[in-house]
Chain A
Amino acid sequence: MTDWQERITRDTAPAIQIEHELRYRAAEPLIRASGVWADLGCGNGIAASAALADVPRKRVVLVDVETSVVARAASELGAPDARQLVADLTDPGDLARIAEELTGAEAERIVTCFEVIEHLATFTPLIEWATALAREHGVTFVISVPNDAFWSISNPYHSSSWGEGSIEELRRLLPSEQTLVRQVALTGSVFVSWEAESHQHELVADVGGGATIATHFIAAFGPRHGALQLGALAAQADQLAQRRWERQRESNLALAEARLRELDGQFEAWRAYIQKLESELATLKPGAQAGK
């Protein structure tokens, strides 16, 4: 029951929501210090809103392919005065409109673009545009792509496949002012009081080393790339939903196996029957009769 819903909604699996929120938290120091922040492929704004609730933002530019989605993001972020743009990031004309919004005022500029590139029919215009803005206008970009290659995920919504190899291809096209980060999944456990009161735990996570397999790759480039904030984020897993999902899958599998056994049995019975028929048929052949 793979959920190919590509937009983050409130029903998206908690692990995916956390991954997305963490990316905005990583860019938080940059957004906080910026005069203009643009979010390309802003979606519903749920993760950005969770990560940046207390972060003051001077000017916000929200960009996505649907008017309603951009409006929802503005509402979710509590930024009704945000500039809302509907744009195709493969279209140089649309990219030029976004550039105007960014370069209109003399201020520090930051652009986030998370989980977008893999959806584009061609990423060349976006990369060309972004590197030019970083080089000529001092815009800092933070982008992310999934590690499709490791999991060999064939996602029908993805036009390109990303992994260690493609991130290396991309890295060499970006300005030399760049920071690359791997985003890695965590597993964990926690004690809560018997009454299950709401509580926040400090978390110590040992990360890195040989088993470091990225779920996503993050690249920051532009003058303030070094301000990207490393961090971790964890939340209580929704075991009820997970148990239901796993049990449903196990149940379906058991059912399929039982059906297969039944079909195997039928097949064996049919084979025996066909063999019997064939041998009876052989006895009816003219040659066989003549031999009698």
Chain B
Amino acid sequence: MRVAFLLNDLQLSGGVGVVVQHARRLSLLQGWDVTLVMVREQDDGGWQGYEDLASLQVRSRTEALDEHYDIAVATWWETTFTLFEMSAERYAYFVQSLEDRFYDHDKAERLGASITLDLPVAFITEARWIVETLSSLRPDARCYLVRNGVDKSVFAVPESVEPSLDAPLRILVEGSARVWHKQVPEAISAVSAMREPHHLTVVSGDPESLAGVAADRVVGPVDHAGMAELYREVDVVVKLSRVEGMSGPPLEGFHCGATCVVTPVTGHEEYVEHGFNGLITDWDDPMGTARLLDLLARDRSLLHFVRSNAIETARAWPDWEQSSQFMTTALLTIAREPQPDAVAPSAHLLADLRAGIDAYSRHLEAVRWQPVAHWLLGLRRYRIVRVLSRPLRPLIRRYRQRH
């Protein structure tokens, strides 16, 4: 079985790490030949953290175009641009999140990412909410579920957690401050609003973006083993993300004896149970988040209860070995089934493209008239204009509601 996974690059990130884990394990199976295809031009720094690629092959896009594969798998929306250039018997798309949500509403990438879900491919995804969404968006498409495993040799589950009796609540916030949907500054700010004694560790791939934040220590970048060490040092992981596929860090924290305080972000429902193994806070509620953290700091019985249940949840979570067996079976099933017909997906794609064009036309229209509208609204500082414009108030109200 010749499989090609298409990646933009090999930068250290959760999404790339998942693909590499699967590819690495598949490549160890007898009769499997697995290639990572880099669809972008690579510089020398692109291999950090992935030195051990076992029997995996890494090819550039140009090199891969000369090869033939049984299955070519896109792994990020931009990699679909190369997917159908590849010579393959079957085409699949490993969807780790609905990636249009990474972009602001007026960014062209948002439309680009969303319409890639209309392609004539078999889908593989990592969370039940994505399966359900894809099944309703694309009832014609086959969609397989392969949840991410956890490396239990690195994130080893302890027999039990040591009760944290009276020390300041040890908190960890993880993520890049530059990625808006990770909400790292908001998480730090919520921790700062705590009344109870606490100790905050912030871990980031780009710690320079966190200069001057109210944290006891800022560390990073950190590899998986380093992350496991940090999780073992804390009681709770705070994650206030707005967009996630299945949100790995709180689960990795569970494996190391830390509970979590998280927003009800997509994917949290795979393993977080409010009041059982973690706490769920509301959106845009730093004070509420701070009060939940204060509660954990004050009520050490509750803290121990949720931490103990967190490691039990972790114990039952599949490792990469099990996850890889599902990936293997999914790819074998995709290879056995016929390549999806392109007619129904084309209709979906064109309908979404038309809706996107309409939305952008309206958006561009609004942008074009915005300076005029602002100038007109500015005239309202003159009393005579306010009096004369009284009959236009409903129209002005409607304009303001829209913009």
Q: Please list the residues of chain A having a beta carbon within 8 angstroms of any beta carbon in chain B.
A: 122-124, 127-128, 131, 148-154, 160-161, 163, 165-166, 168-170, 172-173
- Is B102 close to A, CB under 8 A? no
Q: Say whether, besides A148-B316, A166-B318, A168-B128, A124 and B145 are in contact (CB < 8 Å).
A: no
Q: How far in angstroms is the closest Cβ of chain A from B159? A: 10
**In chain A, what residue has the closest Cβ to B142?**
A172
Q: Is the CB of A163 within 8 A of B316?
A: yes
Q: How many residues of B contact A (CB 8 A)?
A: 23
Is chain B's interface secondary structure helix, strand, loop, or mixed overall?
helix
Q: Report the bound CA distance from A163 to B143 in whole Å.
A: 19
Q: Report the bound CA distance from A172 to B145 in whole Å.
A: 7
Interface centre among A122, A150, A165 (most CB of B within 10 A): A165
- CB within 8 A of B143: which of A124, A149, A172? A172
**In chain B, what residue has the closest Cβ to A166?**
B318
Stretch of B4-12, B283-291, B329-337, B375-383 lying at the A interface: B329-337
- Is B317 close to A, CB under 8 A? yes
- Is B192 close to A, CB under 8 A? no
Q: How far in angstroms is the closest Cβ of chain B from A160? A: 5
Q: Which chain A residues lie closer than 8 Å to B128 at the CB level?
A: 165, 168
Q: Which chain B residues lie closer than 8 Å to A166 at the CB level?
A: 147, 318, 322, 326
- CB within 8 A of A124: which of B131, B318, B325? B325
21 A-B pairs whose Cβ atoms sit less than 8 Å apart in the complex: A124-B332, A131-B333, A149-B313, A149-B316, A150-B316, A152-B313, A153-B316, A160-B321, A165-B145, A165-B147, A165-B318, A166-B147, A166-B318, A166-B322, A168-B145, A169-B144, A170-B326, A172-B144, A172-B330, A173-B326, A173-B329
Q: Say whether, besides A169-B147, A172-B144, A161 and B317 are in contact (CB < 8 Å).
A: yes
Q: Report the bound CA distance from A153 to B315 in whole Å.
A: 8
Q: Which chain B residues lie closer than 8 Å to A150 at the CB level?
A: 316
Q: Which chain A residues lie closer than 8 Å to B313 at the CB level?
A: 149, 152
Q: Report the bound CA distance from A150 to B332 in whole Å.
A: 29
Q: Please list the residues of chain B having a beta carbon within 8 angstroms of any beta carbon in chain A.
A: 128, 131, 143-147, 270, 312-313, 315-318, 321-322, 325-326, 328-330, 332-333
Q: How far in angstroms is the closest Cβ of chain B from A191? A: 37
Q: Report the bound CA distance from A148 to B322 in whole Å.
A: 14
**In chain A, what residue has the closest Cβ to B317?**
A161
Q: Which chain B residues lie closer than 8 Å to A169 at the CB level?
A: 144-147, 326
Q: How far in angstroms is the closest Cβ of chain B from A222? A: 16
Question: Top 9 A-B pairs ranked by shortest CB distance?
Answer: A152-B312, A149-B316, A152-B316, A160-B322, A169-B145, A169-B326, A124-B328, A124-B329, A154-B315
Q: Report the bound CA distance from A122 to B322 in whole Å.
A: 8
Q: Which chain A residues lie closer than 8 Å to B322 at the CB level?
A: 160-161, 166
Q: Report the bound CA distance from A168 to B128 in whole Å.
A: 8
Q: Is the CB of A122 within 8 A of B325?
A: yes
Q: Which chain A residues lie closer than 8 Å to B318 at the CB level?
A: 160-161, 165-166
Q: Is the CB of A161 within 8 A of B329?
A: no
**In chain A, what residue has the closest Cβ to B277?**
A152
Q: Is the CB of A172 within 8 A of B270?
A: no
Q: Which chain B residues lie closer than 8 Å to A153 at the CB level?
A: 316
Q: Which chain A residues lie closer than 8 Å to B146 at the CB level?
A: 169
Q: Report the bound CA distance from A163 to B312 in whole Å.
A: 13
Q: Report the bound CA distance from A221 to B328 in whole Å.
A: 20
Q: Is the CB of B315 within 8 A of A128?
A: no
**In chain A, what residue has the closest Cβ to B147?**
A165
Q: Is the CB of B316 within 8 A of A173?
A: no
Q: Report the bound CA distance from A166 to B332 in whole Å.
A: 18
Q: Say whether, besides A131-B333, A166-B322, A168-B131, A161 and B316 are in contact (CB < 8 Å).
A: yes
